[in-house]
């Protein structure tokens, strides 16, 4: 089923993932795309208007806060599908709980405005890894796992996901009902990934030697941003299909692709080695010592909390996440959504490496100038 004729709202529309979803919605020939974000990027708007597909789609830009009821009502009014990608990604525990908790207000607005489809961008972190570092090898939606969520990001993502799935099938005031689902991408990479850019920056400072922050045996399955965006469009299609809506509504799906299963550090090396980077053979310090140092930093954070906010650069949960094998299959998404990666590994790698190369030389020159 096509999304032709639909009015789609994308939150976090100018973000890393949101931009990709918008481009695919243009290809779908939707009647209208509404872009909601706190920060508007004129360059992205120009790219949208230059896209050939945009001639058949109305594009409306809403600058506003996802936590502001007035902004939400205005953006949702008349929309049929909401794709909620907006999020504050936090792996260090630096963001307060309340700043990450907004999906409740958005769902309330969807009911008020009779939105019929809701797709929520969740995260692999709603599963784990847990504090014991229990591994998962090619898991799926039925894999039993004892999760222990510590950071506000993981907790609120989990709670928001449960809210989204719980409202599936609930009636709307116009006689229809809301269908909802959640997508759990693994580690998203690609052109525009600020985490990869950060690793490259550290590598340049270290004379083109990438820092190893995890063991090679701690394999994960990164997923290309273009494939994650494609999965969102397929989910939106499924929720519009009378038959698929029954199957997909109320469910969550892991989204991965055919990117090789490697550690986070080895993945950075795979996409940056064509630029001349090498990587350390082993972490700078043994895992046990890093874990102990993280423990001390967390205790210091607790001690300083009454006086000022201190966020440790490393913590035990992040260290455990980086050093735990944690991979998941996309077969359920393939079965229910018809998801097959749109971009293969070689394409995904080339796009990512080319993007990194575009800023590599500038980064080196800036570093030399500040020495």
Q: How far apart are CA 323 and CA 325, in angstroms?
A: 7
Q: How far apart are CA 216 and CA 257, in angstroms?
A: 20
- What is the three-class DSSP state of 169? coil
DSSP string for 47-83 = HHHHSGGGGGSEEEEEE--TT-HHHHHHHHTT-SEEE
Options 153, 189, 224, 269, the catalytic residue:
153
Q: How far apart are CA 341 and CA 227, in angstroms?
A: 5
Helices (H), 77-224: 103-112, 152-166, 194-205
Token pair recorded at residue 336: 């229910």
Does the annotation mark 269 as catalytic?
A: no
Q: How far apart are CA 289 and CA 285, in angstroms?
A: 7
Q: How far apart are CA 193 and CA 303, in angstroms?
A: 34
Query: Is residue 326 within 8 Å of 220, Cβ to Cβ?
Result: yes
Q: How far apart are CA 47 and CA 139, in angstroms?
A: 38
Which of the residues are catalytic?
A: 153
């Amino acid at each position: 089923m096509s999304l032709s004729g639909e009015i789609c709202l994308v939150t976090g529309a100018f973000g890393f993932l949101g931009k990709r979803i918008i481009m695919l919605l243009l290809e779908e020939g939707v009647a209208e795309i509404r872009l909601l974000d706190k920060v508007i990027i004129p360059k992205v708007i120009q790219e949208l208007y230059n896209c050939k597909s945009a001639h058949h789609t109305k594009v409306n830009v809403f600058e506003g806060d996802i936590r502001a009821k007035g902004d939400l009502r205005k953006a949702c009014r008349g929309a049929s599908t909401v794709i909620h990608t907006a999020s504050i990604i936090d792996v260090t525990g630096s963001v307060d709980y309340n700043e990450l908790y907004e999906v409740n207000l958005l769902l309330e607005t969807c009911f008020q405005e009779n939105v019929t489809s809701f797709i929520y961008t969740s995260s692999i972190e709603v599963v784990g890894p847990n504090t014991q570092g229990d591994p998962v090898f090619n898991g799926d939606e039925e894999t039993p796992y004892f999760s222990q969520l510590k950071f506000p990001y993981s907790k609120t993502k989990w709670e928001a996901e449960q809210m989204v799935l719980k409202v599936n099938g609930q009636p709307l005031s116009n006689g229809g009902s809301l269908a909802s689902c959640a997508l759990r991408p693994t580690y998203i990479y690609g052109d525009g990934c600020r985490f990869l850019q950060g690793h490259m920056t550290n590598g340049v400072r270290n004379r083109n030697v990438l820092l190893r922050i995890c063991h090679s045996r701690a394999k994960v399955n990164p997923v290309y941003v273009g494939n994650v965006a494609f999965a969102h469009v397929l989910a939106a299609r499924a929720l519009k299909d009378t038959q698929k809506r029954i199957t997909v509504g109320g469910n969550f799906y892991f989204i991965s692709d055919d990117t090789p299963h490697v550690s986070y550090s080895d993945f950075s090396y795979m996409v940056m080695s064509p630029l001349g980077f090498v990587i350390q053979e082993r972490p700078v310090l043994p895992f046990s010592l890093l874990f102990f140092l993280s423990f001390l930093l967390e205790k210091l954070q607790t001690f300083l909390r009454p006086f000022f906010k201190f966020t440790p650069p490393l913590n035990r949960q992040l260290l455990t996440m980086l050093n735990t094998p944690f991979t998941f299959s996309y077969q359920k998404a393939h079965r229910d959504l018809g998801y097959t990666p749109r971009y293969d590994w070689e394409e995904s790698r080339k796009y990512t490496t080319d993007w990194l190369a575009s800023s590599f030389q500038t980064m080196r020159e800036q570093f030399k100038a500040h020495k």
